[in-house]
Chains A and B, each alone.
Chain A
Amino acid sequence: ACGGGGGDDSGSTAGGDCEDVTLRLSHQWPEATGEDGDFRSLIAQKFAEGVEEETDGQVKVQVFPNSTLSKSTEQYDAMMNGSIDMSVFPLDYASGRVPEWSVTLMPGLVRNHAQAQSWEGSPIGDALVANMEENGAHLLTWVWNAGAIGSKTDPIVSPSDVEPGMTMRAAGSYVEFMLEDAGAGISSLPSNEIYTAMQTGVLDAAVTSTGSFASYNLQEQVKSFTSPTENTFWFMFEPLIISTGSYEKLCSDQQAAVDKVGADLQDYAYTASEEDDARVEKIFADAGVEVVQMDDAAFDEWLELAQKQWDAYAADVEGGAELLELAQEQHD
């Protein structure tokens, strides 16, 4: 059928008659073939299958992987104006629209998976969910991703390992500012240039999600890899979301089904993310890269630098101080 999609205004309102709906789910992760693919891509696929089954085919989810339908950073906009309905979306990408969301990629605020997973159902988690709802994003599954540091030289474990003049690229502006404070030069290269930039020496080191390290084959370029198994200052929240506009157009049974399938995927999302770190660590170790961990002492050194960014965030962003406070409470 042509047309269709979540943009259909007629009929199906909450509580009313349930009509057939097709939801468009766009994400930036590589298309997964089989169980070994990118776990964020698999979450999208599993969700699509689950919802179709749960609603007996009434709700269909069309998945558009690899940014085929919308640029990665533009997916929030696309959800807001209705061109897509859903995404597995790094909230920080929309921090230009919703500055509060920088809290989901704040350096040092989340140090390991246990801490990340504790957000769900906690005061910070509830505040974040409420804020997302206010800004048109209905959360279905919590997805967290740990980040690693890859370097062409010696391992970067503590801030003092950042040699002056070293050029780094990081995801997240507050992370970039922190690295700058540590003495790095920051390059804002597009992510698909990382591999070549490292190869040609434009970049000396990069901070990004473990999954991206593997999908960009950076094990072929880096000499050392600081794995997030013990600690990491880089944790990104990239939940499975549906726009509140599209959500409200579903009838109540469909809403319940969508919520249920999202919740059912929760355990998978947490475990897969942890397993992914182990998988990537193995890829890098097997490739002969020096794999190291960040111990608590080193993490505390980063924390000192990170707190400067927290202060900046609290000062710059309305409501930011409250969110930070709640997040810190969670971690004491």
Chain B
Amino acid sequence: MSSFAQGGIILAMAMVLFLTGMPIAFALAITAILSIVIFLGPDQFDLFGKMVFDSMNDFGLLAIPLFVLMGNLFGGSTASKQLFEAGEAWLSRVKGGLAMSSVLASAIFAALTGASAATAAAIGRVAIPEMATRGYSSRIATGAVAAGGTLGILIPPSVTLILYGIAAEQSIGQLFAGGIIPGIVITAMFCIWIFIATRMEERRASRPDVLPHHGARKVTARLYSWPDRFVSLAKVVPFALLVFAVLFVLYRGIATPSEAAAVGVVLVMALIGIGYRGLRGKDLIKVLLETTNQSTMILLITCFSAVIAVVLSYLRIPQDLATLVTDLDMNKWVVMLIINVILLVMGCFLPPVSIIVMVTPVLLPVILTLGFDPIWFGVLMTINMEMGLITPPVGLNLYVIKGIAPDIPLKEVLIGALPYVGILALALVLFSVFPEIITWLPEKLYSSGVATGG
């Protein structure tokens, strides 16, 4: 049997098991054990436990629960409200300013958490009701929050970039650095779209024959005095300082990413404890339990995927795939396009974490063979994963919006989010044409690439 046929069988097993609705982690575990028995031989059965254990034996993975904890602590504080209010105070006179505020607040929130749903939930809880009362249509409101939330995995820290870095043996520090400028560019692109969409809605609304969108009324802008604005800005200074503190710890050689995450947790606790009326015991327990839930979910998927990756590597599937791509002698950008389409389709159905851990070990040899920069590809893949967060039928951020605003029809949420899929696709093209947008900062911060292996 060719290695591709074997790979196909493994893929088919996983897909069928996914569709039964069982937890992805255990679907992967069943796939792993069946693959071991079928392809490595039944006598290799005993290895399973060892492989599962070894796959977790990695200091880099520690960053994930700690960055999730940091985000959850932050999400439980008043931070999201203050970030949103500060944005509003400065943008209240701009068309769509409130929606832009939620995107900007999401971007800053993203810099303090590793996950996207956390970002969308924290900002959305504050922003969606406020936008509704101020006459924003539900399309504009929910689209901005769903899309803004996706920045959580692009702007560092990022759970998906950590997982990619570990699977691809790339420096997590460099990957984080690679996400910063694209994160800012995409934030700007989102804001420009909000401006355009708001104008389009106004034109539509001025035509008497057209009914307004769900929830849309005349938009009212609240007025802010200059002192108000500076007061609101002053309130977010501690959070901005926190972002810089973590980046400083990371890039000034005080700590590795995992350690920076722990320092971040302590700083957030101190900040909430000192500046924001204390951290109560019972709130802390809730945050810890929630972090346990998210961590075990992400890491269990990761460890069972790692076992499958070992089997695939044993079957030489990644290597054969790389050879095949070389032999086909296709234009490397055609291959890149195909990869992105496959990722986008997977993104419709699976959460980013599972895609990254399953796909990276298989694709990496192909990427390296074609001569693409692995840091650049890691960031590109993350942007592709952002699309998956807002595409139906399975889109984590869409569920978040449904949870916050159950009365808004799903159709409105989908229509509101759809343009952002296009914007992210546009960003993929932009960063392919100008890869320096991604690679410049990591190269600036780290004079040259980190060798692997050895």
Q: Do chains A and B touch in the complex (CB under 8 A)?
A: yes
Instruction: Find the A residue at minimum CB distance from B452.
Output: A192
Q: Does A64 contact B (CB under 8 A)?
A: yes
| In the bound complex, CA of A30 to CA of B451 (Å) | 10
- Contact of A64 with B313 in the complex, beta carbons under 8 Å: yes
| In the bound complex, CA of A66 to CA of B454 (Å) | 7
- Contact of A196 with B256 in the complex, beta carbons under 8 Å: yes
Most chain A beta-carbon contacts within 10 A, residue among B173, B256, B446: B256
- Contact of B448 with A200 in the complex, beta carbons under 8 Å: no
| In the bound complex, CA of A199 to CA of B446 (Å) | 7
A197-B256, A200-B173, A202-B253 known; A83+B44 contact, CB < 8 A = yes
Chain B binding surface SS class: loop
How many of chain B's residues have a CB under 8 angstroms from any CB in A?
A: 40
Shortest distance in angstroms between B320's beta carbon and chain A's nearest beta carbon?
A: 13
- Contact of B252 with A71 in the complex, beta carbons under 8 Å: no
Q: Does A296 contact B (CB under 8 A)?
A: no
Excluding A31-B453, A196-B446, A217-B449, 14 further A-B contacts by CB distance (< 8 Å) are A2-B1, A2-B38, A7-B41, A82-B43, A83-B44, A192-B450, A195-B171, A196-B171, A201-B254, A202-B253, A212-B454, A216-B451, A217-B451, A220-B448
Considering only residues 129-160 of chain B, those with a C-beta below 8 Å from chain A are none
- Contact of B252 with A200 in the complex, beta carbons under 8 Å: yes
Contacts of A29 in B (CB 8 A): 453-454
Contacts of A215 in B (CB 8 A): 451, 453-454
Q: Does A35 contact B (CB under 8 A)?
A: no
Interface bits B290-333 vs A (CB < 8 Å: 1, else 0): 00000000000000000000100111000000000000000000
Please report B residues at the A interface, Cβ cutoff 8 Å.
Answer: 1, 6, 38-41, 43-44, 46-47, 50, 54, 57-60, 169, 171, 173-174, 250-256, 310, 313-315, 446-454
Instruction: Find the A residue at minimum CB distance from B315.
Output: A2
Q: Does A301 contact B (CB under 8 A)?
A: no
- Contact of B256 with A201 in the complex, beta carbons under 8 Å: no
Contacts of A9 in B (CB 8 A): 43
A5-B40, A216-B454 known; A192+B446 contact, CB < 8 A = no
Shortest distance in angstroms between A24's beta carbon and chain B's nearest beta carbon?
A: 8
For chain A, the bracket of interface size reads 35 or more
Contacts of A68 in B (CB 8 A): 310, 313
Shortest distance in angstroms between A99's beta carbon and chain B's nearest beta carbon?
A: 20
Q: Does A322 contact B (CB under 8 A)?
A: no
14 residue pairs of the A-B complex, CB under 8 angstroms, read: A2-B6, A2-B38, A2-B39, A3-B41, A5-B40, A66-B453, A70-B310, A74-B50, A81-B50, A193-B59, A196-B173, A199-B253, A200-B254, A201-B252
Instruction: Find the B residue at minimum CB distance from A197.
Output: B256
Q: Does A211 contact B (CB under 8 A)?
A: yes
Nearest first, the 8 closest Cβ-Cβ pairs linking A and B are: A201-B253, A200-B253, A215-B454, A30-B453, A7-B43, A68-B313, A195-B450, A217-B451
A192-B169, A199-B253, A200-B173 known; A30+B50 contact, CB < 8 A = no
Instruction: Find the B residue at minimum CB distance from A1.
Output: B1
Shortest distance in angstroms between A155's beta carbon and chain B's nearest beta carbon?
A: 21
Shortest distance in angstroms between B185's beta carbon and chain A's nearest beta carbon?
A: 25
Contacts of B314 in A (CB 8 A): 24, 64, 69
Shortest distance in angstroms between A223's beta carbon and chain B's nearest beta carbon?
A: 14
Interface bits A54-71 vs B (CB < 8 Å: 1, else 0): 000000000011111111
| In the bound complex, CA of A191 to CA of B446 (Å) | 18
Considering only residues 65-92 of chain A, those with a C-beta below 8 Å from chain B are 65-71, 74, 77-78, 81-83
